[in-house]
Copies of this chain bind each other. A is one copy, B any other.
Amino acid sequence: MSKGEETRAAILDAALAQASTAGFESLTIGTLAERTGLSKSGLFAHFGSREELQVAAVEAAAARFTETVFLPALKARRGLPRIRALFEGWLDWTERNGLAGCPMQAAAVEFDDRPGQVRDAVLAHYKRLEQELGRAVELAIGQGHLRADLDVEQFVFDMLGVIFAYYHSARLFRREEAVARARKAFERLIAAAAPAA
């Protein structure tokens, strides 16, 4: 990794930490420069514009998510075990990356009504996320772990809901029982999608 790439990675590290606690709108060149020990202009040169910086931060978050959630889940057996691995990884991927809230959700909420490159990047991430999740569900159906007539998109929709409710309960309310509630909701989802006995 060249010097430039190294610095760029360090900047994005700081950017993710910042965005996860205070949102992407709080990502300013000045504060980020101070946080990384760079000069404003030096930092700026790595991205060319603030919007590019925000896009890069979203993409960095997506990359982290892939490393922390997707790739490890591939080691689980296909079918239900893999879906469970995805779910569990999803619950704590932010902590495991030293982040506060989920930067992806923050970006989604902040930019869902603001057209531009950032919104496009967020959309791309969630599109891919739903695809991968859908594929995992279909594999589970193929394995006979889930009902053959299961509404896959609905299952993905429901699973996203559980995650969002978890983030809400854990971050805003700081509830300890959030994980337990999320797991219970998830298991009920799985049970409802189980093949007829």
Contacts and interface: CB of A to CB of B under 8 A. Distances in A.
Contacts of A100: 113
Interface stretch (A19-27, A56-64, A74-82): A19-27
Contacts of A101: 109, 112-113
Contact of A160 (B119, B151, B168): B168
Complex copy number for this chain: 2
Interface stretch (A40-48, A65-73, A138-146, A184-192): A184-192
A165 B158 contact: yes
Interface stretch (A6-14, A29-37, A84-92, A169-177): A169-177
Contact of A185 (B126, B161, B168, B172): B161
Interface of A: 20-23, 25-26, 100-101, 105-106, 108-110, 112-114, 119, 122-123, 126, 151, 153-154, 157-158, 160-166, 168-169, 171-173, 181, 184-185, 188, 192
Nearest to A184: B154
Given A158-B161, A160-B169, 16 more contacts: A20-B113, A22-B114, A23-B25, A25-B26, A100-B113, A101-B113, A106-B110, A109-B109, A110-B110, A112-B168, A123-B173, A154-B181, A154-B185, A158-B165, A161-B164, A164-B164
A114 B26 CA distance: 12
A158 B185 contact: yes
A113 to B, nearest CB: 4
Contact of A108 (B110, B122, B158, B168): B168
A195 B162 CA distance: 23
Nearest to A22: B114
Nearest to A164: B164
Given A109-B106, A168-B164, A192 B188 contact: yes
